Amino acid sequence: MRTRTRALAALAGAVAVLASMPAGPAGAAGVNTVDCRTPGGGAGGTLNWGYTGKTRLGLVGLSAHDLAADGAWARVRLDIVTGSGKRVTYSWRANHDGAGTTKRWKSYASESSGIVSARVEAQKVKGSSPVSSCYSKKAYNPYY
DSSP bridge pairs for 75: 94, 123
pLDDT of residue 19: 32
CB of 115 closer than 8 Å to CB of 141: yes
- The model's pTM is 0.78
**Long-range contact pairs involving 26-32 (C-beta distance under 8 Å, separation at least 24):** 28/141, 28/142, 28/143, 29/58, 31/59, 31/61, 32/139
pLDDT of residue 30: 61
CB of 109 closer than 8 Å to CB of 82: no
Would you give per-residue pLDDT tens digits along the chain (144 residues)?
444 334 333 333 333 322 333 333 444 456 789 999 999 999 999 999 999 999 999 889 999 999 999 999 999 999 999 999 999 999 999 999 999 999 999 998 999 999 999 999 999 999 999 999 999 999 999 998
Query: Is 13 in a helix, a strand, or coil?
Result: helix
pLDDT of residue 92: 98
